Structure 1
């Protein structure tokens, strides 16, 4: 079985499988191994020497197969609610998710306002105002583009804004971290990290960068740097919680470190095992760590005991991103769905709503608009970021990119940032004169 990798604008496809020859387009034999980069949605080779299809599980040995929700069913336990709308009732009824459950939502998302001109995005459209397609980097009236930041030569995989700093940090598969002055928008430094950046986060003054076989840790206030060893392969996800730093690795483990004030260093604390393939995404909420993997599952870990207490198996492809809103966990996958999970009376998570897209979903990011209403950013592999009101999932607008957007980060004062497959960052802000979709 092969896949047609020519169906998307950037030459990549994740689900269009076809039966045919076991050879590549140039006649060379195709390996029986599945392409690792395809599994995480990042293969850009055409033709590729490896399979772009999931293997039949029956032929694979079982041993080799591949801020936050409130786990407390008490809806009044507000101390566990991290990313929440202060104007919303935290005891929202799970059945009210989605257009049909929202009074006044109209039962369906708003229609898209025209198709974007791909030549305009590439800077090559010669029709100017006479072009029949949209010449804009966004649709709808919710956001506006402030400026692009150019310098990276490959996909941007992480964006961080450490506290107490006037600098923006971005990491890329071009093996560099760039430092941008927030006042001028100029790049004031480019740091070679010796490998592809798989992810990047900030916590306080610290910036953490996931690279192959290590995590780089920088204190932006003290100008100190550390290298945390232990990961095997690329580090794809980082998160801080329960006074620990967690790293999701290519071999399926989650490594944890604690900071030692006495030694001014990070000391290994634990290694969490259970995923059969790489850990792609993580989020911490209350006393739980949630990890999404290429093995199609989400694992729930108790941060007190560091034991897995539940495995969620509803997704049918790679779990690309997890985040939280009020007492709900949201997850997205290359299976073209976003799932909303809620804790039952037993404490276990169950799906309360499934939102379907026409394309694989790569990144989820939640933030508040200019009216303090919660909005979900949903980046898909058709090079479009869709904005949805929560919990109605009514569409607020779209952001268009030359290639897939792999990094989204909120900033101060209504700013937010996106990074795409060409290496370009964009700085956006929320429009203050927009009227969000009605909610009740």
Structure 2
């Protein structure tokens, strides 16, 4: 292959758009730069990229490296790219099993619900410098998979899952050039899948101490799942796209177009809170009964629960954002909001006013998370930013992942947009941040180093994440699929002499 040739890696989603990115400057394949008689069109074969070209050496399009007629990479000898089949066959006992086995082992423990949901403890204020596990790096893939890499060439390879295998219809088997696995994290497995929603999942709620899981979707419904059996026990039509869903003090709150629906789960009585203009994208509620709703017009509306009427009544509104409010986070006596105007606003609840505006992201602020004394934000600009309180009592940017020197050249590649975050601890009690991206992955990062320890794969982008008890994690994607993941014990790799 000719040195310096650019390879079209196909469309990459950034927000609701798709940009074509190029990896650029692929190293030569040895010899005089010829293509071994395979043809003359210097454009990568789309079917080869998908692992299903059947023409082999007769194909007129470019097959980078020296693959045989089966499309599978041969040995990593001189002039050949390394085998990128991740060979997860030794994991088939847990990866290719029948997943709908009934129930997912709901148990006690886990993280508390509310604004501190899934919040791990801070073990260090020294952020980053986690080695090769940044965005664009391969992270801590387990040893079986890391053999697919060749020193100095990992920049041209991707741990990309086979889209056909994820659909259950890959016919290439062992000759497929792409990963046959739901995850590259050796200590995480997919336990089961909850099927029923027909459109994107926007919210997942598992109230602490309850035996039911709630999922809200753009198919205009909320589904209720039994945690003991994994079966859907109820489908509640909402009459509009579900943009947000939270549970607090026996109430279920549903963000809809132009209203917030409030359901008393003890009596099943419903009430509609009017006032929002457009879709309600985010909800938050305090322990003393203040309900906040982030709306399409950039306003944050506030209701207060009245013990006299046993209803939520309008209390106030807060304006300042110039774009829709898409995420809300309550920490102590302050509310934090992220918006499509690329900013984060800090609101003093008692004074009902904005006390600080955080600028730093260059695209929509999609989600906010609290980790000890730090505020974490993720954005469609592809970054996760860490904010800390300075000596003046103001939040300031203290770290950004990926670090600036590690960010790819924007002329060659665009970072996948970050969508949703949640925090948890692994089996060893180490804090882990999970962040979903619009390249259909969820990446797992050790904190505070941001070393990437693996990825979870979905057929579409994941827009909802929820930590559960007993080492469980729930993810909901844009196809309406809810996956249940589980942290597992791992055995140390055997040392090969």
**TM-score w.r.t. structure 2 length?**
0.68
CA distance in 1, matches of 2:477, 2:274: 28
Alignment CA distance shift 1:316-1:14 (3 Å): farther
CA distance in 2, matches of 1:386, 1:206: 32
**1:418 paired to 2:464:** no
CA distance in 2, matches of 1:182, 1:384: 25
Q: Counterpart in 1 of 2:393?
A: 347
**1:97 paired to 2:127:** yes
CA distance in 2, matches of 1:135, 1:144: 13
Which has the larger displacement, 8-17 or 385-394? 8-17
**1:205 paired to 2:209:** no
Q: CA deviation at 1:292?
A: 0.3
CA distance in 2, matches of 1:169, 1:83: 17
CA distance in 2, matches of 1:11, 1:341: 24
1:319-364 CA distances to partner (integer Å, 9 max, x unpaired)? 1111110111111111111110001111111111110372111111
Contact 1:141 1:434 in 2 (8 A): no
Alignment CA distance shift 1:158-1:107 (3 Å): closer
Alignment CA distance shift 1:432-1:303 (3 Å): farther
Q: Counterpart in 2 of 1:327?
A: 373
Contact 1:160 1:200 in 2 (8 A): yes
Q: CA deviation at 1:205?
A: 2.4
The one of 412, 415, 421 equivalent to 1:364 is: 421
Q: CA deviation at 1:10?
A: 11
Counterparts of residues 155-304 of structure 1 (less than 5 Å): 155-241=200-286, 243=288, 244-304=290-350
Contact 1:7 1:13 in 2 (8 A): no
CA distance in 2, matches of 1:221, 1:434: 45
Aligned residues: 359
Alignment CA distance shift 1:166-1:390 (3 Å): same
Q: CA deviation at 1:206?
A: 2.0
CA distance in 2, matches of 1:11, 1:366: 23
Which has the larger displacement, 237-246 or 393-402? 237-246
Q: Counterpart in 1 of 2:434?
A: 377
Contact 1:142 1:397 in 2 (8 A): no
Q: Counterpart in 2 of 1:61?
A: none
Counterparts of residues 56-205 of structure 1 (less than 5 Å): 84-86=119-121, 88-89=122-123, 92-93=124-125, 96-99=126-129, 110=139, 112=141, 113=145, 114-205=159-250
Q: Counterpart in 2 of 1:76?
A: none
Q: Counterpart in 1 of 2:363?
A: 317
Larger radius of gyration: 2
| DSSP-derived class of the 1:121 partner | helix
CA distance in 2, matches of 1:82, 1:346: 28
1:194-248 CA distances to partner (integer Å, 9 max, x unpaired)? 0001111122322211000111112223322221111110000111226211110
CA distance in 2, matches of 1:143, 1:272: 42
Q: CA deviation at 1:111?
A: 5.2
| DSSP-derived class of the 2:17 partner | coil
Q: CA deviation at 1:411?
A: 1.1
CA distance in 2, matches of 1:396, 1:328: 22
CA distance in 1, matches of 2:20, 2:348: 38
CA distance in 2, matches of 1:304, 1:9: 40
CA distance in 1, matches of 2:161, 2:117: 36
CA distance in 2, matches of 1:367, 1:216: 30
CA distance in 1, matches of 2:225, 2:283: 22
Q: CA deviation at 1:14?
A: 5.5
Q: Counterpart in 1 of 2:444?
A: 387
CA distance in 2, matches of 1:97, 1:11: 27
| DSSP-derived class of the 2:276 partner | coil
Q: Counterpart in 2 of 1:32?
A: none
- Structure 1: gaps (5+ residues): 1-5, 18-79, 436-440
| DSSP-derived class of the 2:470 partner | helix
1:143-188 CA distances to partner (integer Å, 9 max, x unpaired)? 1111000001110001112345321110100111111111111111
**1:399 paired to 2:456:** yes
Q: How large is the RMSD of aligned CA atoms in angstroms?
A: 2.4
| DSSP-derived class of the 1:403 partner | coil
| DSSP-derived class of the 1:323 partner | strand
Q: Counterpart in 2 of 1:13?
A: 17
CA distance in 1, matches of 2:132, 2:478: 35
Alignment CA distance shift 1:315-1:230 (3 Å): same
Contact 2:248 2:285 in 1 (8 A): yes
**1:429 paired to 2:486:** yes
CA distance in 2, matches of 1:277, 1:216: 23
CA distance in 2, matches of 1:177, 1:82: 21
| DSSP-derived class of the 2:193 partner | strand
